[in-house]
Chains A and B, each alone.
Chain A
Amino acid sequence: MSSPKEDGSDHDYDDIPLQHKRPFGAGLHKKAIAFVPASDTGGQLKSVDSSSVARPLRQDVADLYLSMVMPAEDAEKDKLKPITTPLPLKTRTHSISEEVTPDICPLCNLPLSSEDFVPHEQSFAHQVCLPHSHPPSAIDRNRKGLAYLSAYGWDPDERRGLGAEQQGIQFPVKARVKDDNLGVGMHIPKGLPPPKKKEQLLDAKKVRKMAREEKRRGERLREELFGDGRLGKYLGRGDKGLI
């Protein structure tokens, strides 16, 4: 198994005989991508040892399935965890929770503390957890489809989906048009200007129009700044020293 470094650009260059090396790179393959291996073994696909799996001794299929899905290392890690955690920390957290447990708000499951400026009942978290009515759904009540669904007991304001337990999704899956080649996880920050547009070719008409506009803008600016010249006079020397 080769290390990820081998995918790197250096290696690529080493393969090229000296007499073939070009002074500058042209090929796409020369701008190499440095790949990094997946950090945890959980990301790696495990081989399944068919001999061990097919053992007739294993009676429980669920165990077999789990052994395939859950890598063995993870299970071991979980086992190790409680032992490796430092004891003092554990006791500390324990004592804190003991102090707090009697004072937990039954509604929002948050600890009640007297030190807050506002009473707990007025806190945002508590208010959100209070039972309240939602605004009605925006669905047009005259729709025939709605009439059918409500005839079978679906209420648009109940915020539920379809299905045996009405557990289905409430809203349709959204479509998002992708018209660029940005990779997964690549986001252009909002603050940045949009990518450069294609350069527009100018013809005489456009150039004339642009010049006209430029001129107009300049005139307006001059007008605003210098007014009728008296301002310049008042400020002393000519227009150059102004700014």
Chain B
Amino acid sequence: MADSSKGLKRSSAETEGSQDSKRVKTDGGSNGKMGGDKYNPYLAHLDEGAHNGFKSPLDELERHKTTALQAVKAEDSDTNPWTGRPHSQQYFKILKTRRDLPVHKQRQEFLDQYHQNQILVFVGETGSGKTTQIPQYVLYDELPHLTGKLIACTQPRRVAAMSVAQRVANELDVELGEEVGYSIRFENKTSSKTLLKYMTDGQLLREAMHDHDMTRYGCIILDEAHERTLATDILMALLKEISTRRKDLKIIVMSATLDAQKFQSYFFNAPLLAVPGRTHPVEIFYTPEPERDYVEAAVRTVLQIHASEPEGDILLFLTGEEEIEDACRRISLEVDEMIRESDAGPMSVYPLYGTLPPHQQQRIFDKAPEPFRKGGRPGRKCIVATNIAETSLTIDGIVYVVDPGFSKQKIYNPRTRVESLLVSPISKASAQQRAGRAGRTRPGKCFRLYTEKAFKKELIEQTYPEILRSNLSNTILELKKLGVQDLVHFDFMDPPAPETMMRALEELNYLACLDDDGELTRLGDLASQFPLDPALAVMLISSPEFYCSNEILSITSLLSVPQIWVRPNNARKRADEMKQQFAHPDGDHLTLLNAYHAYKGAEQNGEDMKKWCHEHFLSYRHLSSADNVRAQLKRIMETHEIELISTPFQNKEYYTNIRRALLAGFFMQVAMRESSNSKVYKTVKDDQLVMIHPSTVVTSPYDWVVYNEFVLTTKQYVRTVTNIRPEWLLEIAPIYYDLDTFEKGEIKSALTRVTEKVRRRQAMKGGR
């Protein structure tokens, strides 16, 4: 025993030696002298002797040889092993609840597996505590302060990364941003002290672009891998490759659903560790017949539950904001009637969807209302949610789930180059996940608004991973930057369709990000530095050529955040009037810019911005985040020496320059009006018939417009449009607008006329 502990000391001392010099460098020499006058608890492990009396509880641990018992002992100690400060009262309180989590029982088993294997697949249902606990278990085994290699834990969503990091910081009794930090797009809350880092999967991917082997990390945990986001899929392929090069890199793939076999076989038959969640049985019911109207059936089912089922909250899954708000209204009205006529209990109805402001999202955690009188019928709450309540968000108290079997899913069609959100049937896995939400607190019931036969026959097994449903141009740019040569044989878990890949390669080629051999160009390399879509990045990079990079920078940031316009149902008209104040006749991009300039102007005048935004029907939240995005992008531009210039506002070319600059990135998103008195436009090359989205400020019917996005609902719309002139197209994107590549049609003949006109004008000029 004594012998081994001696060996342990020595080995840690060796690593310390190498660590020492590293620290000196990173800390700028200020902490170089050990045992200086200032006591730095973080460096305590480096100079045990200097602070007599302080002995870190971690001293006894040997990297990759720890046991659960040792770790528990370290956690129980009075001093915080990571900061050297004494543990707070709160810490021990949280520690007690942590020990009750299902995963705690398997800590030793986890460590054994972790020591023996490089890659591990970990399955734990929501509520097992895997997201918060496993990274900490790894922390106590990896001891990153000795090696300087961090632990990363990825999350698909920004909010999750932030909130989990905060939670874990509390659990470890450290400041958020110090030992435990997070890093998300446009926000980095880490420091040189950081040992455990929560981040979005996209963020880790961005880091990998500069560090192909992920040398900064000793262990990478991919959480919520079952969601199969685009970035997670790329990361998995990348880590699979890196794992053969870097044998010291540990990888844990965590998934909430029980489809882990696919992950196992993908990662060289990695061993599996499963932890049960705290779930109760859920009884599942189907309708005997298919439903004609699933929204009405859903409302009826909710009311039926309210009338006849014992206490317990209801979760109803619907597809979109409008549908949800409508259902909420109908349910509330009907419940009022039920209360009046049949003495039903009270029910509060809450909507829940992504674009809901946070304080309204918080309301779903309110307690269910009390019964009207003592001993009366119980009150309950009903949450009407999109599929964000399926995996990402956990609401306790739900006993009944109503599942109509639909969700909105993104789908990309490479032939028309349209990415759209469409209502589609969910998968079996998704239906099971939804049902599972009913069994969080006690045995529950799930009412599926379709027949059992339909469940078996019509629903697909698994939801298509995002990579099969997305435009890949951004992905391919990233992969190229990551040094992937052969995209055909790149080992994706679910490789995308060849046509989708081809389309993305072509788009990047037109944007001049890839050359004809598919190699990254200088522009492409630069574009990949920006956390933006390639079209936006290219627009931003080329904006100095149009003397308006300041303005394009603002527009880019405004296009990177959700809609800044607020249009509440009860004040639509006033909201529209306010928007008209900012309106620029030439288009929505310029209107956005006007609103932003007004916002900045009011800010400089020292106005109360929240009030100002409210008065002007603008979203303060989104405008301020656009402001933040702008600052981040500006920093990137400065590091790459992209000039920030503006045309003087008095110059009559001010807006023209901006409109031209838009085309530098979005020349592939142009539509021409069908005929002189129609409202229908046709997109260039893809030949889709579209209308301008009613939210536009453009009133006069322009013949040519550039659009930011294509919205496919019941009609096809283009949203955020700006008027342009066709001759700019030929000038700015001559390769894309090479008339020989156009199919015969109105657009080709119109462009031919324009070419003729330009040629004639030049000839006349030359003649003079």
Chain A residues within 8 Å of B, Cβ to Cβ: 1-2, 4, 6-7, 11-12, 15-17, 20, 22, 26-29, 31-39, 43-50, 53-54, 56, 61-62, 64-65, 68-69, 139, 143-149, 151-154, 156, 161-164, 166-179, 181-187
Asked if B420 lies at the interface with its beta carbon under 8 angstroms from chain A, I say: yes
From residue B233, how far is it (CB to closest CB) to chain A in Å?
A: 12
A144 touches B283 (CB 8 A): no
Residue-wise, chain B 419-434 has the 8 Å CB interface mask toward A (1 for contact) of: 0101111000000100
Stretch in B57-65, B407-415, B573-581 with 4+ CB within 8 Å of A: B407-415
A36 touches B498 (CB 8 A): no
Q: Within the complex, which residue of A39, A44, A61 is in contact with B282, where a contact is CB–CB below 8 Å?
A: A44
Residue of B nearest to A179 (CB): B714
The answer for the CA separation of A34 and B492 in the assembled complex, in Å, is 45
Asked if B3 lies at the interface with its beta carbon under 8 angstroms from chain A, I say: no
CB within 8 Å for A53 and B453 given contacts A44-B283, A182-B294: no
Q: Within the complex, which residue of A38, A154, A175, A179 is in contact with B285, where a contact is CB–CB below 8 Å?
A: A38
A28 touches B330 (CB 8 A): yes
The answer for the CA separation of A31 and B304 in the assembled complex, in Å, is 9
B304 touches A32 (CB 8 A): yes
CB within 8 Å for A175 and B413 given contacts A32-B304, A43-B284: yes
B281 touches A47 (CB 8 A): yes
Q: Within the complex, which residue of B290, B309, B489, B501 is in contact with A166, where a contact is CB–CB below 8 Å?
A: B489
B303 cross-chain contacts in A, Cβ below 8 A: 27-29
A26 touches B337 (CB 8 A): yes
From residue A23, how far is it (CB to closest CB) to chain B in Å?
A: 12
B498 touches A149 (CB 8 A): yes
Residue-wise, chain B 479-496 has the 8 Å CB interface mask toward A (1 for contact) of: 000000011111110111
A56 cross-chain contacts in B, Cβ below 8 A: 109
The answer for the CA separation of A12 and B443 in the assembled complex, in Å, is 22
The DSSP consensus for interface residues of chain B is mixed
CB within 8 Å for A171 and B285 given contacts A183-B450, A184-B406: no
* 3 tightest A-B CB contacts, nearest first: A145-B502, A168-B495, A185-B454
The answer for the CA separation of A187 and B451 in the assembled complex, in Å, is 13
B278 touches A178 (CB 8 A): no
Q: Within the complex, which residue of B281, B285, B293 is in contact with A46, where a contact is CB–CB below 8 Å?
A: B281
Residue-wise, chain B 276-305 has the 8 Å CB interface mask toward A (1 for contact) of: 111111111111101111111101110111
Stretch in B224-232, B267-275, B531-539, B656-664 with 4+ CB within 8 Å of A: B267-275
Asked if B102 lies at the interface with its beta carbon under 8 angstroms from chain A, I say: yes
From residue A187, how far is it (CB to closest CB) to chain B in Å?
A: 8
A6 cross-chain contacts in B, Cβ below 8 A: 308-309
Residue of B nearest to A58 (CB): B109
The answer for the CA separation of A175 and B423 in the assembled complex, in Å, is 10
B291 touches A183 (CB 8 A): yes
A sample of 9 inter-chain contacts (CB < 8 A) reads: A27-B334, A45-B436, A68-B276, A168-B497, A172-B413, A172-B499, A176-B422, A178-B406, A184-B406
CB within 8 Å for A185 and B453 given contacts A28-B303, A45-B435: yes
Asked if B5 lies at the interface with its beta carbon under 8 angstroms from chain A, I say: no
Among B308, B436, B504, the one with the most A-chain Cβ atoms within 10 Å of its Cβ is: B308
Taking A151-B518, A154-B488, A181-B296 as given, write out 15 further A-B residue pairs in contact, using a Cβ cutoff of 8 Å, ordered by the A residue number: A15-B308, A37-B283, A50-B276, A54-B106, A65-B272, A144-B509, A145-B502, A147-B516, A162-B490, A162-B501, A164-B491, A168-B494, A175-B712, A176-B424, A184-B290
